[in-house]
A and B are shown apart, each in its own frame.
Chain A
């Protein structure tokens, strides 16, 4: 019967997989393996960490242990607040700046823009020492605002929105002006709606970046009240804590689950947005 189906679909299905197909699949298996391994370890008793047995009993104990041993609910809330806060603030600040760079005659605009672009290379985490001092001077140490604020004026977001706004025909703007719109109304009614795909792309990239960010949040936080998931996970799985690995796997899965599920659901959008945001 297989034969019949194959002949129906043409010769391709009958042929043995080519060398390239085999290599591509092999590489894919190697690449996905660590994640599959973590899933295996998380859902089976610790004894099965390196003993693969299809009939090994499934368990949720590891998740229960992880959940009991660290305040993951609090970490989730912190990460959620951080990510939404940063993305919304970035949207506002970068929209205003992108609009200014795209449409307003500002003296020394090119130099200002170059100055902004420098931030593409000099990230807040490179300047951790001084940024920590500034955050502490502003009373932002150990706050979620302190984690997010250095990233709000993102050169990348400003650049992306400036490029998008520049492609929007001026006629649309003039039509709005004829109807009596001021600059803010033009921005909100003409530019922002037309830049929706850019916001989506930038939003997804920014969400995944801040969900995953570690070094700066580690430095600036020192209590459960402000720690995001990554930092919580980093502390949780430090060798000194003596937690067993099955539990660490479960904790790892807990921290990546929302992003991973989102990725599986919106795979195309994720890939597209990394791409859109990357090509500049």
Chain B
């Protein structure tokens, strides 16, 4: 009886400890998620009229909206452009600074510095590179006798320009996870393979790379989330233009909500983002957690 009481007290105490977090999460995570879902079935009420329930009309509009499809396609291309490249570069960087290398500390710092910079500041600097007349890239091209490219103004090139900047920003961050993983690989494996005369190439593909799999999956999840979440650079570089060539899902939400003041349509697009994130989360919690082995 006494023990039961003590147990009950522990439960109450534990619940009280959770309370502040629960209230805040409820207010800024669960409530807005539910409200977003609900709002996607409504049209905003004008001039004091209550919002009107319209069922799936917003979704029908979404399906008809050519801009939405363009934005979704951009986001897919953005993910395909940034993720494999930054992961491959991160792995390469980690291999470089894990080996004996003169000035290793400096090299590592150089790779990691972009991680510390705000995306806005990074975009400011890249803006100088991409500017059509006076930008550095076109000056360089000019020096080689080539005509310049309108890096951010040409719809065919703009998204690639944005992707390149993102890769530069992200690769160094992913590098440190690979570096840590590489350092945890027992050196005996390398010694044993050296004794057997295995080439470095096949050692990498048959030993190192498989051992790095959990890290790759971890980095992949982070990169996937970032691909739908981080849009700061668009505010400086392109504002989603030209003609939506660099518009991404979250930026499109922002535009709809705060420039076109269509809150319910913004909610509908947010639902799409939430679905993407739900897929990523499910991937993480079901498939990957069984295969990753972090302590």
**In the complex, which residues of chain B have a beta carbon less than 8 angstroms from the beta carbon of A37?**
125, 128-129, 136
Decide yes or no whether A256 CB sits under 8 A from chain B: yes
Q: Are A126 and B27 in contact (CB under 8 A)?
A: no
Closest to A262 in B: B116
Determine if A87 is an interface residue (Cβ-Cβ < 8 Å). no
Q: Is the CB of B270 within 8 A of A38?
A: no
- Contact residues, B251-265 vs A (CB, 8 A): 253-254, 257-258, 263
Whether B122 pairs with A270 at a CB distance below 8 angstroms is no
A94 touches B128 (CB 8 A): no
The answer to whether B121 touches A255 (Cβ under 8 A) is yes
B102, A106: Cβ atoms under 8 Å? no
Contact of A24 with B97 in the complex, beta carbons under 8 Å? yes
The residue on A at minimum CB distance from B100 is: A12
CB-CB contacts below 8 Å: A33-50 with B: 34-35, 37-38, 41, 49-50
Say yes or no: A106-B15 contact (C-beta < 8 A), given A126-B274, A233-B121: yes
A214–B122 CA distance with the chains assembled, in angstroms: 12
Asked whether any CB of chain B lies closer than 8 Å to the CB of A29, the reply is yes
B73 contacts the other chain (Cβ, under 8 Å)?
A: no
| A40 CB to nearest B CB, Å | 10
The verdict on A125 contacting chain B, using a C-beta distance below 8 Å, is yes
How many angstroms from the CA of A35 to the CA of B102 in the assembled complex? 22
Question: Per DSSP, are chain A's interface residues mostly helix, strand or loop, or mixed?
Answer: helix
Whether the Cβ atoms of B273 and A126 lie closer than 8 Å is: yes
Residues on the B chain within 8 Å of A238, using CB: 236
A121-B281, A256-B118 known; A94 vs B21 contact (CB < 8 Å): yes
B127 within 8 A of A: yes
Q: Does B109 contact A (CB under 8 A)?
A: yes
**Is there contact, CB below 8 Å, between B28 and A97?**
no
Look across to chain A and name the residue whose beta carbon is closest to the beta carbon of B174.
A278
| Residue interface mask A265-277, B partner, CB < 8 A = 1 | 0010011001100
Binary A-proximity of B93-122 (CB < 8 A = 1, otherwise 0): 100110101110011111111111111111
> Is there a chain B Cβ closer than 8 Å to A212's Cβ?
yes
Q: Quick one: given A31-B168, A118-B281, A121-B280, are A215 and B18 in contact (CB under 8 Å)?
A: no
Quick check: A34 and B129 within 8 Å, CB to CB?
yes
Query: How large, as a class, is the contact surface on chain B?
Result: 35 or more
B21 adjacent to A24 (CB under 8 Å): no
Q: Is B128 a contact of A249 with CB atoms below 8 Å?
A: yes
Q: Please, which residues of chain B bring their CB within 8 A of the CB of A103?
A: 14
Interface presence of B203 (CB below 8 A): no
User: Does A208 count as interface, using CB distance less than 8 angstroms?
Assistant: yes
Return the CB mask of B32-48 against A: 1 if under 8 Å, else 0.
Answer: 11011001000000000
Interface size class of A (residues with CB under 8 A): 35 or more
Docked pose: A118 CA to B111 CA in angstroms: 31
| Interface mask (A84-110 → B, CB under 8 Å = 1, otherwise 0) | 000000001110110111011111000
Among A23, A34, A103, A132, the one with the most B-chain Cβ atoms within 10 Å of its Cβ is A34
Q: How far is the CA of A115 from the CA of B232 in the complex (A)?
A: 28
> In A142-192, which residues have CB < 8 Å from any B CB?
149-150, 152-153, 155, 158, 183
C-alpha spacing A259/B254, complex, angstroms = 28
A233 to B29, CA, bound (A): 28
With both beta carbons as reference points, the residue of chain B lying nearest to A13 in the complex is identified as: B102
A119: which B residues are within 8 A, CB to CB? Answer: 25, 29
CA distance A206 to B110 in the complex (A): 22
Which 9 A-B pairs give the minimum distances between C-beta atoms? Answer: A104-B14, A130-B32, A153-B24, A100-B17, A212-B118, A24-B96, A97-B21, A28-B110, A150-B28
8 contacts between A and B (CB under 8 A): A29-B110, A31-B168, A50-B135, A103-B14, A106-B18, A126-B228, A214-B232, A215-B254
